[in-house]
């Protein structure tokens, strides 16, 4: 069987004086390890080309990165808002809309989870330490792959089918989080302080799973691999459903 083709949302960043586009290698490696064929899509493509760029792809992975422009959820910028990349917001929102309209499996990580929520009409805490202080350091001081807090997972959810109900130990390198939940989504995991750590579609027939931690870093071990494996398997199932003849 051909590997399912996984579109991976890329970033655009100036490094050493040169504008570069690509994505953190860990995302690509995690898709490969799960048996998928990762294809990085640059935000330089632009929103108008997003749907065309998904042609021939079987799944969409929305990756981590900068803060989402709060104008997207009709909020004034917090003083603690960090860098925003409106062209990337626009491109990824177009990718997500096109993927969902095709019923393509979507897996969203960190900023990707926040994008899924904003696309569904939800809002974000722009900076947890100043807007929703609590006992958990969601931007951990420990190395990025080290697990530092636990999450509990909603029983009966797709997320629990993949991870169990926990508590699961995960890494945490975010300062934003879900505030008001968007339409058609379910909260499916929470940290000890109640911060939302996973979302999924409320439509059991749609494979849309989002996590606030970084499973591509493998901190949660088998649980993190289970997320990528299930995502790639869902993409493979889409290939089989839409391709009656071998290709
Ligand atoms: Mn966290």
Q: What spacing in Å lies between the alpha carbon of 50 and ligand 1's midpoint? A: 30
List pLDDT tens digits, range 5-60: 999 999 999 999 999 999 999 999 999 999 999 999 999 999 999 999 999 999 99
Residue 165 exposed, middle or buried by CB count within 10 Å (0-12, 13-18, 19+): middle
Q: What spacing in Å lies between the alpha carbon of 135 and ligand 1's midpoint? A: 11
Q: Which pLDDT score is estimated for 166? A: 87
Q: Is 167 helix (H, G, I), strand (E, B) or coil?
A: coil
Q: Which pLDDT score is estimated for 247? A: 45
List pLDDT tens digits, range 130-167: 999 999 999 999 999 999 999 999 999 999 999 999 89
Q: What spacing in Å lies between the alpha carbon of 17 and ligand 1's midpoint? A: 32
DSSP 43-67: GGG-GGGHHHHHTT-SEEEE---SB
Residue 244 has pLDDT above 60, yes or no: no
The residue whose two tokens read 């697990």 is 147
Q: Which pLDDT score is estimated for 243? A: 56
In the predicted model, what is the mean pLDDT of the chain?
95
State how far the Cα of 64 lies from the Cα of 106, in Å rounded to an integer: 14
Q: Which pLDDT score is estimated for 2? A: 81
State how far the Cα of 93 lies from the Cα of 66, in Å rounded to an integer: 14
Residue 242 pLDDT level (bands cut at 50, 70, 90): low
List pLDDT tens digits, range 105-133: 999 999 999 999 999 999 999 999 999 99
Mean pLDDT of 217-232: 95
Q: What spacing in Å lies between the alpha carbon of 16 and ligand 1's midpoint? A: 30
Q: Which pLDDT score is estimated for 238? A: 83
Sheet holding 149-153, edge to edge: 37-41, 5-9, 59-62, 106-109, 208-211, 196-201, 185-191, 149-153, 168-170
Q: Which pLDDT score is estimated for 174? A: 98
Q: Which pLDDT score is estimated for 240? A: 64
Residue 246 has pLDDT above 80, yes or no: no
Q: What spacing in Å lies between the alpha carbon of 177 and ligand 1's midpoint? A: 8
Q: Which pLDDT score is estimated for 22? A: 96
Q: Which pLDDT score is estimated for 1? A: 60
Residue 66 has pLDDT above 50, yes or no: yes
List, in sequence order, every residue forming a beta bridge with 84; answer none if it has no partner: 67
**Residues in contact with 17: Cβ distance below 8 Å, sequence separation at least 6, in sequence order:** none
pTM: 0.96
By percentage, how much of the chain surpasses pLDDT 90?
A: 94
Mean pLDDT of 75-88: 97
Q: What spacing in Å lies between the alpha carbon of 100 and ligand 1's midpoint? A: 26
The residue whose two tokens read 């048996």 is 35
Question: Which residues are identified as catalytic?
Answer: 110, 214, 216
């Amino acid at each position: 069987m051909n590997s399912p083709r996984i579109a991976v949302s890329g970033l655009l960043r100036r490094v050493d004086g040169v504008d570069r586009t690509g994505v953190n290698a860990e995302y690509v490696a995690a898709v490969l390890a799960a048996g998928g064929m990762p294809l990085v899509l640059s935000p330089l493509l632009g929103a108008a080309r997003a749907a065309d760029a998904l042609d021939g792809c079987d799944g969409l992975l929305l990756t981590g990165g900068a803060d989402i422009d709060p104008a997207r959820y009709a909020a004034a910028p917090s003083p603690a808002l960090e860098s925003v990349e409106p062209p990337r917001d626009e491109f990824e929102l177009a990718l997500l809309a096109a993927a969902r309209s095709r019923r393509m499996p979507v897996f969203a990580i960190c900023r990707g989870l926040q994008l899924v929520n904003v696309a569904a009409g939800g809002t974000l805490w722009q900076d947890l330490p100043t807007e929703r202080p609590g006992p958990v350091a969601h931007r951990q001081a420990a190395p990025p792959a080290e697990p530092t807090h636990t999450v509990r997972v909603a029983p009966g959810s797709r997320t629990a089918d993949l991870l169990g109900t926990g508590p699961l130990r995960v890494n945490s390198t975010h300062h934003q989080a879900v505030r008001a939940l968007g339409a058609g989504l379910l909260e499916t995991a929470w940290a000890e302080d109640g911060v939302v750590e996973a979302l999924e579609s409320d439509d059991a027939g749609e494979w849309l799973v989002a996590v606030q931690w970084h499973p591509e870093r493998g901190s949660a071990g088998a649980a993190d691999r289970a997320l990528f494996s299930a995502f790639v398997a869902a993409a493979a199932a889409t290939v089989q459903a839409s391709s009656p003849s071998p290709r």
